[in-house]
């Protein structure tokens, strides 16, 4: 008999079993992408899918970043050649700010059931068959409303498609329909509860919430708990669907079973050591939209060990800011990829941060480099490389290993123009 604590048996697999199965799927998905998605056919033309046996092999593939999509989609409308099915075979096409377009397909079963895989997050948040879900994610243009509605259906829930806005009408519906769960942003849940209190309406039926799309600070989680609502969060994107979800342990977010997550040094495709903050790069196992090493631009870090709930997949800390740290120094753009290029020429450097400042009316930049036992002249040599790569003069400060903050910043712009 299946353990009802888990959405399915995939969540408690031995890590070795998961890796074997996942990379079998990856090889098939990359072969599919090369055969049916024109962009990946070009990008991965020299890649043999059969050689993708582990994470080290995956890490050698190029990263496609979210910031690339606008130009790709403008050149090959509407989806940039990244979809592996023809546009007419899709279920829906959405538009997010940019504009960037995202597809929803029918999936391997041809039914489009939980195509975004959000059911797993809802189940972990306590949603069960027969629950009524008040879904306040947007249904207009963007996919979030549909993402969570199809996830709720996969769990067996009934959905009230509230969307955003119309606060008083939503409060009226909550009192009349008596939903047991809420899905939407955490801040809008507070808005609804406050409006219900102001109107003298009863919203006490809501006892669980699955939230995403905005920060859930401890103070807000505590307030919702005081109002009788157990609130758990998840992380996903309109391109990828669910990436990771929180459990009742509330110790990081467990990675979804339908994706491979890497944390890389911003501006590169190089995985960082466990625990170090970097950019979230995701590979989906979705045959309709087989994104391979998709750089989200979001930052996080891997948590060591397994979730106390018994789920065995990788955990991440959750959203920790944005990776796009590009800035302009003395009229020249400097970005994390350039800092990474400097480091590649000087293997002695374990980690570095470029601090951009201002002295009077002049921009300055100092590369702080963690080095153990630096050789004489290293700082000057690195400074020359820095100028060659960035086309801007800067200085180098050698610092002790472990002295730089573990916050994922490669470029720290400290200038204050106020």
Determine contact, residues 187/136, Cβ cutoff 8 Å. Answer: no
Distance CA 244, CA 264 (A): 17
- Coil vs helix vs strand at 280: strand
Q: H-helix or E-strand containing 235?
A: strand 230-237
Residue 77 has phi, psi (to 5 degrees) of -80, 145
Nearest-angstrom CA–CA distance, 276 and 263: 8
Please give the torsion angle defined by the CA atoms of residues 409, 414, 417 and 418, in that order, rounded to the nearest 10 degrees: 100
User: Can you tell me whether residue 210 is helix, strand or coil?
Assistant: strand
Backbone conformation region of residue 376, classed left if phi is above 0, alpha if psi is from -120 to 50, else beta: beta
Tokens read off for 126:
């306590």
pLDDT in tens, 273-290: 999 999 999 999 999 999
Report pTM: 0.87
pLDDT along the chain (418 residues), means of 10: 90 98 98 98 98 98 94 97 96 91 91 94 98 96 96 98 95 98 95 97 98 90 97 96 98 98 93 95 97 94 97 95 82 85 94 91 90 90 95 94 92 80
Helices 336-344 and 378-390: crossing angle, nearest 10°?
Answer: 140
């Amino acid at each position: 008999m299946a353990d009802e604590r888990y959405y399915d048996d995939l969540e408690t697999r031995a890590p070795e079993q998961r890796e074997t199965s996942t990379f079998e799927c990856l090889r098939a998905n990359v072969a599919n992408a090369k055969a049916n998605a024109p962009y990946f056919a070009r990008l991965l033309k020299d890649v043999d899918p059969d050689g993708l046996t582990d994470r080290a092999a995956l890490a050698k593939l190029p990263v496609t970043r979210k910031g690339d999509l606008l130009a790709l989609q403008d050149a090959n409308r509407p989806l940039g050649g990244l979809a592996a099915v023809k546009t007419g075979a899709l279920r829906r096409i959405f538009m997010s700010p940019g504009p960037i377009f995202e597809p929803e397909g029918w999936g391997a079963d041809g039914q489009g059931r939980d195509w975004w895989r959000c059911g797993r997050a809802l189940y972990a948040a306590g949603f069960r068959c027969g629950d009524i879900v008040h879904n306040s994610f947007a249904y207009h243009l963007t996919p979030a409303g549909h993402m969570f509605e199809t996830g709720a259906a996969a769990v067996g829930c009934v959905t009230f498609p509230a969307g955003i806005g119309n606060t008083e009408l939503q409060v009226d519906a909550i009192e009349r329909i008596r939903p047991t769960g809420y899905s939407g942003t955490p801040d809008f849940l507070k808005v609804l509860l406050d409006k219900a209190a102001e109107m003298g309406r009863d919203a006490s039926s809501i006892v669980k919430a699955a939230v995403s799309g905005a920060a859930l600070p401890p103070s807000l989680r505590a307030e919702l708990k005081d109002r009788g609502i157990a609130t758990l969060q998840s992380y996903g994107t309109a391109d990828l669907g669910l990436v990771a979800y929180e459990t009742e342990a509330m110790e990081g977010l467990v990675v979804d079973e339908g994706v491979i997550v890497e944390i890389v040094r911003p501006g590169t495709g190089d995985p960082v050591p466990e625990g170090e903050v970097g950019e979230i790069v995701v590979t989906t196992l979705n045959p309709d939209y087989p994104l391979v090493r998709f750089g989200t631009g979001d930052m996080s870090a891997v948590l060591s060990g397994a979730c106390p709930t018994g789920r065995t997949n990788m955990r991440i800390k959750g959203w920790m800011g944005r990776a796009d740290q590009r800035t302009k120094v003395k009229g020249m753009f400097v970005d994390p990829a350039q800092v990474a290029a400097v480091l590649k020429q000087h293997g002695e450097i374990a980690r570095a941060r470029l601090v951009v400042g201002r002295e009077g009316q002049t921009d300055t930049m100092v590369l702080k480099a963690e080095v153990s036992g630096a050789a004489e002249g290293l700082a000057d040599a690195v400074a020359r490389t820095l100028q060659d790569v960035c086309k801007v003069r800067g200085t180098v400060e050698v610092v002790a290993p472990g002295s730089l903050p573990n916050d994922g910043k490669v470029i720290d712009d400290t200038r204050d123009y106020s």
